[in-house]
């Protein structure tokens, strides 16, 4: 290493130490201001967790709310063996996409095709090729919320008359993913991690029944979203961009120098990074799409990300005033660097996180501080979240009961409040579909709404009351509740409001 390189390395090291010291000091200052009274602890449990279980408030008060929050921000240090035991029976969770495609997805599609042909509704002779399999969902693949009670029952894994083993196994992967989501939210000791997995999956939403997306969705949550929720935003952004689940869902797998598809480019700018007010133009969208041409996937027998150099647009691109001409796959990587470090991305991500944790219209002060943390830490999501959840705005009286629970939060908080033992989660999956939130089946790339107006209506209230009464009376099939806790269950503790 020459003298200049050594000097540069020393300067960079000193800068990183200074940034780390600043973040450490800020975290210590924030911890010193965190209250430890019971209303604040209950509030934290309803925002940073999926509600309180019996004994949680007293336990956290003893250890200190500041210590609990710091523990939750470092989930790897929190033992979760009991949850691991509960998840062990869900045998498809650890499978890779190739196994899912070969053993579950392809046999189910072939069986459906045979049944359609027998009924005179043939889609064409012979097996469907990759291009055909990646078209919009066909019969039997639509979201259950749009298809009535029969389809909702299918989404929950219910057996239909005449259902073959191949078709049943084809549904097993998604059903077990949904069961695992409920089990994790209900029983995990790493509650903040589960809340953030839900948040980031929703931010980078994919719809499980779009073509081959169902093959990849297990890997998407397990290997793309979950490991990065408290890591670096650029790493998370890059992992989603290369995920076959995202490439199929937003059609980038078919975007080439001979036929451009702008779906992923548009959502990357509007939803994933700079936001709708980020200052981009239609020409920027076109240039982003050109940068990602050739980012595609392998065939079902060999699934995974693949860069096809012969399909890439090699000409220069201009995005948000910057020239992109890195060459080949590096065009996309360079663009992701640009977007991850853009000031509008910092503000957009800070706002969405503050909206999740503080209120539907979070104070500008907390958004500004969180955006500053995002920029100063180069996208360190742990520190951005820490800035928000240890802020005066988070603990302000106006933030208490300022959020409405989504159906998923409502169902899980009721289970936690009653110390429920879940024997099978499939009836709960049907409840969530009836409440308008089937898991992994949100079709728009916006994901499910975070704001109150989506979930507040007279019909929603009736459905929530009915579920609360069913839980209190021990009438939810597959769920055993603590009757002493269930008798005290109220709409306040497990209804609309997130304390």
pLDDT for 267-326, tens place per residue?
999 999 999 999 999 999 999 999 999 999 987 667 799 999 999 999 999 999 999 999
Report how many domains make up the chain. Answer: 1
**Is residue 130 included in any domain, yes or no?**
no
pLDDT score of 146: 38
pLDDT score of 35: 97
**Is residue 422 included in any domain, yes or no?**
yes
pLDDT score of 156: 52
**Is residue 86 included in any domain, yes or no?**
no
**Is residue 494 included in any domain, yes or no?**
yes
Q: 299 in helix, strand or coil?
A: coil
- The residues pairing with 259 across neighbouring beta strands, listed in sequence order, are 256
Cα 242 → chain centroid: 16
pLDDT score of 144: 33
| Among the listed residues 248, 170, 172, the one whose alpha carbon sits nearest the alpha carbon of residue 206 | 248
Rounded to whole angstroms, the Cα distance separating 243 from 304 reads 8
pLDDT score of 150: 45
pTM of the model: 0.86
Q: 303 in helix, strand or coil?
A: coil
pLDDT score of 277: 95
**Is residue 119 included in any domain, yes or no?**
no
| Among the listed residues 371, 68, 94, 381, the one whose alpha carbon sits nearest the alpha carbon of residue 234 | 381
**Is residue 156 included in any domain, yes or no?**
no
For helices 364-376 and 3-32, angle between their N-to-C axes, nearest 10 degrees: 150
Backbone angles phi, psi at 391, to 5 degrees: -85, 155
**Is residue 310 included in any domain, yes or no?**
no
How far is the CA of 174 from the CAs of 213, 227, 431, in angstroms?
11, 20, 16
Cα 73 → chain centroid: 17
Q: Is residue 285 within 8 Å of 319, Cβ to Cβ? A: no
**Is residue 68 included in any domain, yes or no?**
no
For 483, the domain range is 403-498
Residues of the chain scoring pLDDT < 70:
1-32, 121-163, 300-301, 485-499
pLDDT score of 115: 83
The tokens for 228 are 């990065």
């Amino acid at each position: 290493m020459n003298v200049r390189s050594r000097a540069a390395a020393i300067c960079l090291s000193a800068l990183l130490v200074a940034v780390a010291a600043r973040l450490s000091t800020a975290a210590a200052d924030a911890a010193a201001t965190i209250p430890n009274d019971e209303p604040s602890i209950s509030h934290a449990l309803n925002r940073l967790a999926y509600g309180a279980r019996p004994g949680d408030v007293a336990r956290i008060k003893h250890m200190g709310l500041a210590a609990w929050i710091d523990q939750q921000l470092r989930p790897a240090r929190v033992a979760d063996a009991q949850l691991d035991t509960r998840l062990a029976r869900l045998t498809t969770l650890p499978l890779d996409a190739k196994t899912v495609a070969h053993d579950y997805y392809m046999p189910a599609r072939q069986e459906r095709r045979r049944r359609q042909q027998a009924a005179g509704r043939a889609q064409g002779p012979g097996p469907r090729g990759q291009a055909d399999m990646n078209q919009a969902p066909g019969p039997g693949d639509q979201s259950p919320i749009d298809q009535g009670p029969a389809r909702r029952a299918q989404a929950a894994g219910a057996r239909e008359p005449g259902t073959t083993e191949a078709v049943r196994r084809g549904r097993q992967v998604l059903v077990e993913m949904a069961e695992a989501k409920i089990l994790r939210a209900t029983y995990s000791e790493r509650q903040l991690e589960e809340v953030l997995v839900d948040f980031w999956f929703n931010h980078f939403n994919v719809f499980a029944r779009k073509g081959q997306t169902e093959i990849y969705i297990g890997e998407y949550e397990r290997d793309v979203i979950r490991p990065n929720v408290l890591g670096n935003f650029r790493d998370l952004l890059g992992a989603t961009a290369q995920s076959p689940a995202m490439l199929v869902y937003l059609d980038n797998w078919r975007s080439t120098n001979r036929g451009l598809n702008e779906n992923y480019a548009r959502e990357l700018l509007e939803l994933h990074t700079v936001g709708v007010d980020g200052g981009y133009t239609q020409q920027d969208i076109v240039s982003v799409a050109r940068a990602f041409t050739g980012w595609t996937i392998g065939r079902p027998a060999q699934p995974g990300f693949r860069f096809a150099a012969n399909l890439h647009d090699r000409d220069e691109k201009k995005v948000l005033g910057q020239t992109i001409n890195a060459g080949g796959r590096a065009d996309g990587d360079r663009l992701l660097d640009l977007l991850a470090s853009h000031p509008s991305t910092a503000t957009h991500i800070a706002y969405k996180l503050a909206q999740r944790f503080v209120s539907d219209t979070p104070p500008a002060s907390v958004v500004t501080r969180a955006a500053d943390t995002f920029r100063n830490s180069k996208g360190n999501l742990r520190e951005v979240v820490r800035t928000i959840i240890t802020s005066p705005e988070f603990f302000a009286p106006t933030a208490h009961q300022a959020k409405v629970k989504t159906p998923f939060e409502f169902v899980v908080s009721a289970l936690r409040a009653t110390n429920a033992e879940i024997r099978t989660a499939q009836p709960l999956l049907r409840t969530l579909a009836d409440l308008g939130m089937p898991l992994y089946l949100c079709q728009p790339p916006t994901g499910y709404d975070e704001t109150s107006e989506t979930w507040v209506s007279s019909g929603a209230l009736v459905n929530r009351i009915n579920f609360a009464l069913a839980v209190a009376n021990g009438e939810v099939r597959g769920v055993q509740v603590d009757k002493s806790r269930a008798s005290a269950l109220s709409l306040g503790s497990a209804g609309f409001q997130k304390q």
